[in-house]
Structure 1
Amino acid sequence: MQVTETLNEGLKRGYQIKVTAAELDEKVTEKLREAQPEVAMKGFRKGKVPLPMLKKQFGPRLLGEAMQETIDGALSSHLEETGDRPAMQPQVKMTNDDWKEGDDVEVDVSYERLPEVPEVDFSKIEIERLKVEADDSAVDEALANLAENAQDFEDRKKGSKAKDGDQVVIDFVGRVDGEEFEGGAAEDYPLVLGSNSFIPGFEEQLVGVKDGEEKEVTVTFPEQYQAAHLAGKEAVFTCTVKAVKAPKPAEIDDELAKKYGAEDLNALKTQIRERLGAEYAQASRAVAKRALLDALDEAVSFELPPSLVEAEANQIAHQLWHEENPDHHGHDHDRIEPTDEHKALAERRVKLGLLLADVGQKAEVQVTDAELTQAILNQARQYRGQERQFFEYVQQNAQARQQIQAPIFEDKVVDHIFENAKVEEKTVTKDELQAAVEKLEADEAAEA
Structure 2
Amino acid sequence: MQFDVEELEGLKRKIHITIPEEVVSKRVNDAYKDLNKKANIPGFRPGKIPQKILEKQVPMQSFTEMFQELMQEYYEQALQKTGLRPTGQPEIDHSGMQDIKRDEPLKFAVILDVKPELKVKNYKGLKFKKMEAVVKDEEVEETLVKVLSRHGSLEEMPPGHKVQDGDILTLDFEGSMNDQPLENGSANDHEMRVGEKKMIPGFEDQLIGHVQDEDFEIKVVLPANWNQKMRRISFPIPGADEKQEDDRATFKVRIKKIRTLHLPELNDVIAQREGFDKVSDLRRAIKIDLQNHKEQHEELRIKEDIFNMLVKDAEMEPPESVIERELNFMVEGMKFQIAQSGMKLEDSGFEPEKAMKEFREKAIFNTTGYMMLEAIAAAENIHLTQQDMETEYELLAKQTKQKVEDIQKRIMSNPDSLAQTTTKLLGQKTMNFIYANCEIEYYKEGEEPEKEKEAGS
TM range (shorter): 0.5 to 0.7
SS state of the match for residue 99, structure 2?
Answer: coil
Letter of the 1:13 counterpart:
R
Counterpart Cα distance in 2 of 1:57 and 1:331: 51
- The match for 1:415 is 432
Residue 52 and residue 379 in structure 1: after superposition, are their counterparts in 2 closer, same or farther (change >3 A)?
A: closer
- The match for 1:163 is 161
Measured against aligned partners, the alpha-carbon deviations of 1:222-267 in whole angstroms (never above 9, x if no partner) come to xxxxxxxxxxxxxxx9x9xxxx997544334444434433222211
TM-score (norm 2): 0.61
Letter of the 2:430 counterpart:
V
Q: Verify the 8 A CA contact 1:87 1:308 in the aligned structure 2.
A: yes
Q: Which has the larger radius of gyration?
A: 1
- The match for 1:356 is 373
Letter of the 1:122 counterpart:
Y
Counterpart Cα distance in 2 of 1:296 and 1:96: 43
Q: What is the Cα deviation at residue 338 of structure 1?
A: 2.6
Q: Verify the 8 A CA contact 2:168 2:260 in the aligned structure 1.
A: no
- The match for 2:221 is none
Letter of the 1:277 counterpart:
Q
Q: Verify the 8 A CA contact 1:127 1:291 in the aligned structure 2.
A: no
User: 1:135 and 2:136 equivalent?
Assistant: yes
- The match for 2:169 is 195
Q: Specify every segment of 5 or more residues in structure 1 that has no aligned partner in the other structure, as ranges.
A: 167-191, 210-216, 220-236, 437-448
Alignment of 1:4-403 (within 5 A): 4-7=4-7, 10-19=10-19, 23-32=23-32, 60=60, 64-95=64-95, 99=99, 101=101, 105-147=106-148, 150-151=151-152, 163-164=161-162, 194-196=168-170, 200=189, 248-302=262-316, 304-312=318-326, 328=347, 338=357, 342-361=359-378, 362-369=380-387, 372-382=389-399, 387=401, 389-398=402-411, 399=414
Counterpart Cα distance in 2 of 1:374 and 1:148: 34
Letter of the 1:363 counterpart:
N
User: 1:424 and 2:437 equivalent?
Assistant: no
Measured against aligned partners, the alpha-carbon deviations of 1:86-118 in whole angstroms (never above 9, x if no partner) come to 222222224568726466543332222111231
Letter of the 2:311 counterpart:
D
SS state of the match for residue 441, structure 2?
Answer: strand
| Structure with bigger RCO (C-alpha 8 Å, 6+ apart) | 2
C-alpha RMSD of the superposition: 5.0
Counterpart Cα distance in 2 of 1:365 and 1:52: 52
Letter of the 1:196 counterpart:
T
- The match for 2:231 is none
Counterpart Cα distance in 1 of 2:266 and 2:4: 80
**For this pair of structures, how many residues does the alignment match?**
366
- The match for 2:341 is none
Q: Verify the 8 A CA contact 2:3 2:17 in the aligned structure 1.
A: yes
Q: What is the Cα deviation at residue 25 of structure 1?
A: 2.3
- The match for 1:446 is none
Q: What is the Cα deviation at residue 291 of structure 1?
A: 1.2
Counterpart Cα distance in 1 of 2:96 and 2:156: 91
Counterpart Cα distance in 1 of 2:329 and 2:398: 28
Counterpart Cα distance in 2 of 1:326 and 1:69: 39
Q: What is the Cα deviation at residue 78 of structure 1?
A: 0.6
Q: What is the Cα deviation at residue 120 of structure 1?
A: 3.4
Measured against aligned partners, the alpha-carbon deviations of 1:152-177 in whole angstroms (never above 9, x if no partner) come to 57999xxx9773579xxxxxxxxxxx
SS state of the match for residue 134, structure 1?
Answer: coil
Counterpart Cα distance in 1 of 2:329 and 2:424: 18
Give percent identity, aligned residues only: 18
Q: Verify the 8 A CA contact 2:268 2:279 in the aligned structure 1.
A: yes
Letter of the 2:282 counterpart:
L
Residue 41 and residue 327 in structure 1: after superposition, are their counterparts in 2 closer, same or farther (change >3 A)?
A: closer
Letter of the 2:404 counterpart:
F
Letter of the 1:275 counterpart:
D
Measured against aligned partners, the alpha-carbon deviations of 1:302-361 in whole angstroms (never above 9, x if no partner) come to 4531332355457668988999x975559987666736xx54433321121122234345
TM-score (norm 1): 0.62
Counterpart Cα distance in 2 of 1:59 and 1:155: 80
Residue 406 and residue 269 in structure 1: after superposition, are their counterparts in 2 closer, same or farther (change >3 A)?
A: farther
Measured against aligned partners, the alpha-carbon deviations of 1:135-165 in whole angstroms (never above 9, x if no partner) come to 3332233234434554457999xxx977357
Counterpart Cα distance in 1 of 2:422 and 2:151: 39
Letter of the 1:128 counterpart:
K
SS state of the match for residue 279, structure 1?
Answer: helix
SS state of the match for residue 287, structure 1?
Answer: helix
Counterpart Cα distance in 1 of 2:189 and 2:42: 82
